[in-house]
Amino acid sequence: MYQDVLEKAFDALKNSYAPYSNFNVASCVKLKNGQTFIGVNIENSAYGSTMCAERNAIFATYSNGYRKEDIEVIAIVTKSDSVASPCGSCRQVLSELLDKDTLIILSNGKKRIDTNINELLPLAFSSEDL
């Protein structure tokens, strides 16, 4: 299930720009209407300016006028030996910009983990904490 989303994410890996870490990551958001948005990690020598793939994909989704209720699934992929999980910053962003039960697929092409943001970031800080 969701092989199309995984294929689009893996295809986007070629667009990753990771000259410092050599750790290429890509992501694909699929909307309930079938439309997709991809993102890749883009590194910068000023490391704090680096942007992760899943944030690029989710920001592209929102930039095109869609919101969390429109999102069906997000895939985050890499070709590393192990399945990569979102960093803390990405988990925080996803906790606000995804519904809590939205499927998050993590894959390295050999292994796949299906999860959601509640599993990845229990007790998340949210707007309700402000």
pLDDT digits (tens, 9 = 90+) for 78-108: 999 999 999 999 999 999 999 999 999 999 9
User: Which entry of 43, 54, 69, 119 is annotated as an active-site residue?
Assistant: 54
Placement of tokens 């509640």 in the chain: 118
DSSP code string of 72-104: EEEEEEE-SSS-----HHHHHHHHHHS-TT-EE
54 belongs to the catalytic site? yes
* Structural domain count of the chain: 1
- Looking at residue 27, which CATH number applies to its domain? 3.40.140.10
Q: 69: pLDDT confidence band, cut at 50, 70 and 90? A: very high
Two tokens, residue 88: 């803390």
- For the entire predicted model, the pTM comes to 0.95
Q: 127: pLDDT confidence band, cut at 50, 70 and 90? A: confident
Are 39 and 26 a contacting pair, CB within 8 Å?
A: yes
Tens digits of residue pLDDT in 17-52 = 999 999 999 999 999 999 999 999 999 999 999 999
Q: Which residues contact 125 (CB under 8 A, 6 or more apart)?
A: 92, 95
- Is the pLDDT at 72 greater than 90? The verdict is yes
Task: Provide the domain limits for residue 105.
Answer: 3-129
